[in-house]
């Protein structure tokens, strides 16, 4: 049996570090507080980060990360903003920690985003999906995806 001392997000980051083939372009499909975008920007040349909450996007832009494009839009519109082929897409599904728990990711928009992401993904690329389903909206999301 394996024991992981990391968070689920940390486990996803370890998988990306260890198994991604190229480190040119990545997408953080759910920016939130920016922890995954910080991670991605440290190993990828360019990162697109999406969030529907303007607070999250503006807060992240204030960090001044030159290789991160923070976009105030739903991840279902990835293909409208990203023209590059990508090597990695990260999803942390749930709600913005410390934010309004009534604003959550939805199954339908996530499925549309995954479809668009697969079309942009390079051979050898990785998509990670973390679902936090300890609240009712998260349980609904999980049911809608699986």
Read off the pTM: 0.89
Q: What is the mean pLDDT of the chain?
A: 88
* Residue 86, pLDDT above cutoff 60: yes
* Residue 146, pLDDT above cutoff 80: no
Question: What is the percent of the chain where pLDDT is above 70?
Answer: 84
Q: Reduced to 3 states, what is the DSSP secondary structure of residue 49? A: strand
* Residue 23, pLDDT above cutoff 60: yes
From 17-31, 46-60, 102-116, the region with the lowest mean pLDDT? 102-116
**Pairwise CA distance, residues 7 & 23, whole Å:** 22
* CATH number, domain 8-145: 3.40.50.150
Question: What is the percent of the chain where pLDDT is above 90?
Answer: 69
Question: What digits encode the pLDDT tens for the residues 37-77?
Answer: 999 999 999 999 999 999 999 999 999 999 999 999 999 99
Question: DSSP letter at 32?
Answer: T
In sequence order, what DSSP letters do the residues of 111-142 get, joined into one string?
HHHHHHHHHHEEEEEEEEEEE--SSHHHHHHH
Domain boundaries, the chain: 8-145
Whether 69 and 84 have beta carbons less than 8 Å apart is answered as no
């Amino acid at each position: 049996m394996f024991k992981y001392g990391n968070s689920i997000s940390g486990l996803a980051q370890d998988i990306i570090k260890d198994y991604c083939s190229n480190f040119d372009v990545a997408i953080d499909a759910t920016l939130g507080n920016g922890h995954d975008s910080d991670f991605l920007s440290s190993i990828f040349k360019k990162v697109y980060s999406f969030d529907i909450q303007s607070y999250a996007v503006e807060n992240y832009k204030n960090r001044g990360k030159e290789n991160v494009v923070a976009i105030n839009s739903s991840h279902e519109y990835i293909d409208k903003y990203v023209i590059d082929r990508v090597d990695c897409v990260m999803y942390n599904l749930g709600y913005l920690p410390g934010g309004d728990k009534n604003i959550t990711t939805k199954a339908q928009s996530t499925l549309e985003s995954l479809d668009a992401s697969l079309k942009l993904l390079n051979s050898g690329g990785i998509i990670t999906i973390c679902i936090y389903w300890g609240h009712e909206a998260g349980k609904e999301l999980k049911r809608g995806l699986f």
